[in-house]
Amino acid sequence: MALIYKGTVDSLVQQVGKYKDRINERYQQVLGDENYKKLESIAQRVLVPESFFNTYEELQRFTRENIPIETPSKFMILTDSSLTVDESGKIKEKKARAGFGFYINEESFKYSGSSRISEKIIASYIHEFDHFVYGALQKTPMYLVRNTIVKQLGYGPVQLENLNEYLFKIEKEKSPLEIRKNKGILAIQSYIMEEMWENSTRILDKLILESIGITVSLPFRNKERRYGMNYFEGLNSIIQIPLEGDLFRGLDDNEVVHQVIKWDEYMNLIGTCAKRDYLINFWESLKQIQFEVDSIPEIERLNQEEWREHRQSKQYKKKQELHNKLKKRKKRK
């Protein structure tokens, strides 16, 4: 069984129990045997009770953030790895580790988009689980890379409604022109990733939820793509901005799913920026990262183990000796 729920929300426990056979059969049809077996193996290994945040309080305790109580259901890719992009566009790190989590309950369901298409909470869980499907099957989890870029840029998520504003902020930065141009490239790549991530998940939602009688409307599907051309004087560039339409126009729904699973190859075909060295370096270094997927408790255990090993290292001990000497000097003064 690929579809797993180990949370404690009674209504969801009941609905997963009722529909899981039909849903798993549909996942196998859509993904194919090889991808389904891989998904099943990863889900059984990494989705443990600690992966599910059943209440708002549990989510707050784990994230240690002041999250609005109206927060909708969420899928989270959690990582202890920090990816950074150098001035040439290369991602410096060669390895990364990630875990997966879900926040879902009756209250979060009320604020989710899925509540507008069904009264069944399983519609919301399938949407979040479909995010998990992509995150588990992608060689490089798209959402993690997109978050890395957003962090690198420093202005928050890049979405269609704020892409122009985002680029204007980059344009006005007090930094060399080449750096601003490269940040503009990353902003557009981040937008495309956001669009791919959300729209491909909605397409997978449709394919899966229709097997249990829930209809998913996709008004964007197969609409012709339209672009606007904006000149950014501070970037000395004319940038093509997507306005509307379907990024996946010309592909059927199953093809979309399989293309997005291999998104790091597909992105090279749909990127809207010129093939600058910076962009080439970014994608080539991305493909070389080795991603490891673990459960949240396992990542916590590995972190503790690595920290213990680090504290025994000569480098750490020398650093502590220097720190203690400096503290003694300050006391003498």
What is the pLDDT averaged over residues 159-170? 80
Instruction: Report residue 37's pLDDT band, with 50, 70 and 90 as the boundaries.
Output: very high
Half-sphere exposure (Cβ direction) of 111: Cα atoms closer than 13 Å: 13
Spatial neighbors of 245 by CB under 8 A, at least 6 apart, are 220, 223, 224, 225, 226
| Strand runs labelled E in 233-271 | 237-244
Average pLDDT, the chain: 85
**pLDDT tens track for 291-319:** 888 999 898 887 777 556 645 655 544 55
Give the residue with greater pLDDT, 54 vs 148: 54
Tell me if residue 216 falls in helix, strand or coil: coil
Distance CA 319, CA 132 (A): 41
Spatial neighbors of 238 by CB under 8 A, at least 6 apart, are 229, 230, 231, 232
pLDDT at position 134 is 96
pLDDT at 180 over 60: yes
Q: Residue 75's beta-bridge partner residues?
A: 102
Percentage with pLDDT > 70 across the chain: 88
Instruction: Report residue 273's pLDDT band, with 50, 70 and 90 as the boundaries.
Output: very low
Of 146-150, 171-175, 212-216, least confident by mean pLDDT is 146-150
For residue 98, give the H/E element and its range. strand 95-103
Percentage with pLDDT > 90 across the chain: 48
Q: What is the value of pTM for the model shown? A: 0.85
Check if the beta carbon of residue 167 is closer than 8 Å to that of residue 239.
Answer: yes
